[in-house]
Amino acid sequence: MPELTVGGKRASGVDHLFVGLFARERAVPENLAQRARDLVAAALRRSSRCGEEGARRSMELSGSSRLTLFGLGERTAFDVRAARRYVERCVDEAAAADDRAIAVALPEHEMARGEGGGLRAVRDAAAASYRFDRFRSRKPGARLRRVLLVPPAGEGPAFRRGTEVGNAIAAGASWARDLANTPPNEATPAWIAARAREFARRHGARIQVLGPPELRRRRMGGILAVGGGSRNSPRMLRLELGRGPRTIALVGKGVTFDTGGISIKPAAQMDEMKWDKCGACAVLGVLEAVSRLRLPIRLRAYIPLAENMPDGAAYRPGDIVRAANGKTIEILNTDAEGRMILADALAWAAAERPDALLEYSTLTGACVVALGPTGAGLFTPDDELASDLLRAAADGGERLWRLPLWPEFLEEMRAAHADLKNSGSRWGGASTAAAFLSQFVGDLGRWAHLDIAGPAYVGEGKERRGATGFGVALTVEFLRREAEAAPRR
């Protein structure tokens, strides 16, 4: 990740200065040095279309640097996602031009003002410049090393304060993406457990790592069943970080690779199933971000890790498995494995009575069918928690959409020969999966399931292929508010 700094209008020592202009506006931005202001003014005199969405105009700024103008479209349509696209365009252009250092002038707009503006700019610049090339034998040569963010005129001090939070979120999201992108021949349950141990040592977190003997002792039959067909045995992690008057539990699905087991998946895009651990990686990314911010809040993270393989010891359709809370589950489809490992983790988390419980999982293709790849499904019986999470997602630049938990969905998951079955019909699959999970949180009312299957990664044939770190930004926003509100609750 390049060095992300905040600077003034001089923006010296950069290869490229980027300036965003709004459609039908002729005013020259005030956060530019005089030479750049003169060039922008001349460009606006020559053409009234410089600010139209998608417009681009490039020119020499000095003997060794260039100025590029990007059209931002209508001011009224410039939102969190538009601000991110602007920063992405700047970083992509810089990469194509082999620039080492660039300056990005943020437009005079509420999206770029104050602490929130600094937070968003740093977070977006880090996300846009992320690359995963650890396994390349020949590393890329020249690469973007420095991004100087130039806030709107007069916004410098508040903007800089926001960059502290932005840098923490960026670090957490980048680590989550690194973990998720690591291939399954390396990123086994034991490997992720080792990375979690390293984190705990660095930040003073407390950690428990349960292997098969302890999982059997605790009767965690869901994770044992899913991991039983792999020579890479399962693990269950519990981490505790920080102190404060409120305790928030985070649960993340960590299927390090998902073949589907006996109910094996089609070969097409099966390589993408290394990203079935994105929920677990997001939780670890949140812990990294919060450790840097030192929020006055106690976090407990529960991370079930298993590899779902079709071995002779694999669990079968027709098996009946008992989860940690004693509920029995009839297996209809071994590819409905995420809910099995989450059952044990949720039961453990809920038994320790947190003030709120958030769970993240790439759980269902049905949620992707419903919402596409741009947002996650939110399921919770708590209206206040839903409102808090939706607001945090909007501020964090991530999308959640609340979906129902009607009683009929739970009825669909009743089994013929056990308490529950692990797979329902094709209809309402995201909601029936959430209803299944609801049976493992006991009487805890303030809980939420986030089905992040759509936005957790970008798949085959797309730009920026790989894990996105989805969930880190929205959760940090949520936790910051929880920490602030704690004394008043």
**Cα dist from 71 to 18, 168, 461, whole Å:** 11, 30, 27
Of the residues 322, 339, 399, 421, only one is catalytic, namely 339
- DSSP run (H or E) holding 307: strand 298-308
- DSSP run (H or E) holding 237: strand 235-241
Of the residues 37, 195, 219, 265, only one is catalytic, namely 265
**Is position 265 annotated as part of the catalytic site?**
yes
Tokens at 273, concatenated? 């199933």
**Is position 462 annotated as part of the catalytic site?**
no
Cα atoms in the Cβ-side hemisphere of radius 13 Å centred on 42 = 12
Q: Taking the chain, what is the end-to-end CA distance rounded to the nearest angstrom?
A: 39
* Residues near 115 by beta carbon (within 8 Å), at least 6 away in sequence: 158, 159, 161, 162, 165
* Residues near 93 by beta carbon (within 8 Å), at least 6 away in sequence: 16, 18, 68
Cα–Cα distance, 396 to 472 (Å, whole number):
9
Sign of the alpha-carbon dihedral angle for 54, 129, 115, 376: positive
- DSSP run (H or E) holding 298: strand 298-308
Sequence-ordered strand ranges (E) for 22-127: 56-60, 66-71, 101-105
According to DSSP, the β-strands at 356-361 and 447-451 are parallel
**Cα dist from 208 to 64, 75, 301, whole Å:** 55, 50, 10
Cα–Cα distance, 436 to 442 (Å, whole number):
12
Any idea which residues carry the catalytic annotation? Answer: 265, 339
